A and B are shown apart, each in its own frame.
Chain A
C-alpha cells in the first residue's frame, strides 16, 4: 500500500499525551505544513472477532462528517497491527473547563457552548447518525474556542428500513443517559442525544453533574427525584419497557428552584430537553431555533470563552512508538531492493 506508506510518513509523532486499554494518543504534526494533530493509534488484532467495532464506528462516521463543530478526521493510515487516526489537535475539553472553578461562566458563555454543541449534534442527526456518548468530556475545545463533538466509538446510524432490528440500550455514560435507555428500550431515536444535551446544559449552569446516580437503578431514582415521576399520560407505554421498575412517586419541582440564576428562556429549553416522552422531546434543530438563543445577551464569541490548559504531561517517545514508522521503512527498503531489476 504505497499511498498508505506515503501517508504514514507525512505525519510525525512528537509526544505521547494519553494512553488507555483501547488506544494510545500522540501529539504530532504534518511533516511539511507543521499542522498540529492528534494521532490516535488503535491496536487491532486484540479482539477475537477482528477489527474492533469502536474503531470501525469512529472511522466510518468521522470519514463522512465535515462540520466546524465535529472533530475533523484529517487522515487515516495503518501499520502492521495498528490503525492510526489523524485527528485535529484539540487539547482542552468542556469537562476540565467546567471543573476549573477559577473561571466564572457568563450566561453568554453557556449560550455559546450550547449553540455549538447543538449545531454539531444537529449535523450528525442530519446525517442519520446518533452519537450515543455525549458528555462534557467528549466535547473538545480548539484553541480558537470552537467546540467540537468527538469520540464516535459508540455512534450508529438510525432510520434503517429494518425496524425489526434492535439497538443496544447500554450506551451513553450513566449520568447523561435518558430514562428510556435506563428502562432498556431497544428502539429509539435522536431524543437520547438530546437528553444528554439537557444534562450538559444543566451541568454548565451548576458546575457539577446534575443527576449523578451510582448505579443504573439509582440513576432512575435520581432522575425522578429531580424531575418528578412520569405519569402514563406524560409518557405513554413506558411501564411496558423491558427493564421498567416502579421506583416510587416523586413530585415535580420547578426547575427555577435549583437553577436560580437561569433566565426563563434557558429554563424553558432545559425543560424541553427533559420531556419524558422521547417523541415530544425537543430536537436539535428545534433547539437551535429556540428563543433562548435569540434573546440577549448574544452568545459569547468563541475566541473569548474561558479555556483551560490540559494537565496531562506529554511523554517523550519510546522505541515502541516508532514501530509503525519502522515498518514502513522496512517495507519501502524491501520493495526498493526487490524492484531494482
Chain B
C-alpha cells in the first residue's frame, strides 16, 4: 500500500459534486451541508463522520463490503478527481515518479533511456491494474536498494527546481510592485512640477517686463531640465536577472572519470630536434653575449630564478622549427 502523496506545489483543489453521497452512512448534502468525502488508500470514499466513527480509536478494516483493508484515520486524503480510478492512477504515478526519477542525462544514449522509461511504464501499469502486484513491489524494492544514492540526489534536484521556480515568481511579483510604486511616485512629482511651473509663469508675468512667450519658454525649459534630472528610470528592474537562473547543481552522474593524461594538445615545440647544453655543462655554448649572466657576480640571477638555458632553448627552438615548411606556391 502507499502513503498518500500530496501535490508539492499546493495548487490543486478538492473535487466536489452536488450528488455526493456517503456509501457507508448514505448521508448526502441535503442532510449534511458540510459533507466532505475523503478517499482511503484502497480508493474507497466515505464521509468524515464515518471516518471519525470507525477509525478514531485506531486501525480498523475498511467498511466497504469486499475490501476489509486495515486502515488508519490519517491515511484518508481529499479527492481531486471525479473518477476514482483516475485518482488511483495519479497516486500510483506520483509514487513511482519518486522511486524512478532518473533523467536523460543519467543515460549513455537515447535507447537505454527509452528502455528505462518503458520499464517504468510497465511497473506503473501493473500497479494501477493490480497485475502481479507482489512481483512489481519487489522490483520497486530492488530498484530502491540499488539506486538509493542516485534517487536521493534526484529528489533533492527536483525539490530545488520547484523552490527556485517559486522564488522567481515571488521576485517577479516584487519587481512589478516596486515598479508600480516608483511610477506612481513619478506621477506625483510631475503633477507637482506642473503646478509649480504654472505658478512660476504667472508670477513671472506679473512681476517682469520680458516678452510673455519668452518667459513661458524659459520656465518650460527649466522645468524640463529638472524633470530630466529626476527621471533616472531604473531600467534594471525591467529586465529580469536572467543570469541568476538556477544552475543544475547536481552532478551529471553519467560521465566517467578518466585517468590523467599530462597533455591534451598536439602542438610540437620541437624540443627534441636539438640537444640543449646547460650553463653548468663541461663545455657549454660559447656565447659572449651572456657572460655576465653566467658569472652572476651578485647572485641575483640565481636568487630570482632566471634561467639562462631558457634563453638558449628559445633561440634553438626557433632555429629548428618550421625549417621544412613549403612556401606557398607561386601561381596562387
Q: Do chains A and B touch in the complex (CB under 8 A)?
A: yes
Question: Which of B242, B311, B313 meets A160, CB within 8 Å?
Answer: B311
Cα distance A191–B264 in the bound complex, in angstroms: 22
Per-position 1/0 for B228-258, Cβ under 8 A of A: 0000000110110111111101011101111
- A187 with B257, Cβ < 8 A, contacts A161-B311, A163-B290 known: no
| B265 lies within 8 A of A236 (CB) | no
Cα-based distance from A241 to B298 in the complex (angstroms): 9
Q: A34 at the A/B interface (Cβ < 8 Å)? A: no
Where the two chains meet, the residues of A that have a C-beta atom closer than 8 Å to any C-beta of B are 15, 17, 27, 67-69, 91, 103, 108, 111, 115, 119, 122-123, 126, 128, 158-161, 163-164, 180, 185-189, 191-192, 235-238, 240-241, 277-279, 281, 285, 288-289, 293-294, 297-301, 303-316
Do the beta carbons of A185 and B303 come within 8 Å of each other?
yes
B interface residues with partner A (beta carbon < 8 Å): 235-236, 238-239, 241-247, 249, 251-253, 255-260, 262-265, 267, 269, 289-290, 292-293, 298-308, 310-311, 313-315
- Report if A115-B306 is in contact (Cβ < 8 Å); known contacts: A312-B243, A313-B236: no
Q: Report the nearest B residue to A119, measured CB to CB.
A: B264
Contact B303 A236 (CB under 8 A): yes
B243 engages A237 (CB within 8 Å) = no
Q: Are A108 and B257 in contact (CB under 8 A)?
A: yes
**A163-B311, A240-B299 given; A180·B304 CB < 8 A:** yes
Assess whether A309 is in contact with B269, with CB atoms less than 8 Å apart. Answer: no
B260 to chain A, nearest CB (A): 4
Do A237 and B267 touch (CB < 8 A)? no
Q: How long is the Cα–Cα vector from A119 to B265 in the complex, in angstroms?
A: 9
Instruction: Count A-B pairs with CB separation below 8 Å.
Output: 152
A298 touches B243 (CB 8 A): no
Residues on the B chain within 8 Å of A189, using CB: 304-307, 310
CB contact under 8 A between A237 and B315, given known A304-B255, A309-B245: no
A54 CA to B313 CA, complexed, in Å: 27
Complex contact A301–B258 (CB within 8 A): yes
- What is the CB-to-nearest-CB distance from B294 to chain A, in angstroms, rounded to a whole number? 10
Whole-angstrom CA separation of A300 from B301 in the bound complex: 40
The answer for the CA separation of A225 and B242 in the assembled complex, in Å, is 45
- 17 residue pairs from A and B, CB less than 8 Å apart: A15-B239, A15-B243, A91-B243, A108-B257, A123-B265, A128-B314, A160-B314, A163-B306, A189-B304, A189-B307, A189-B310, A237-B299, A241-B304, A279-B302, A310-B244, A311-B244, A316-B235
Residue on A nearest B271 in the bound complex, by CB: A126
Contact B301 A313 (CB under 8 A): no
Which residues in A have their C-beta under 8 angstroms from that of B253?
A: 304
Q: Which residues of B lie under 8 Å from residue A68 when comparing CB positions?
A: 264-265
Q: A123-B265, A314-B242 are in contact. Are A309 and B302 (CB under 8 A)?
A: no
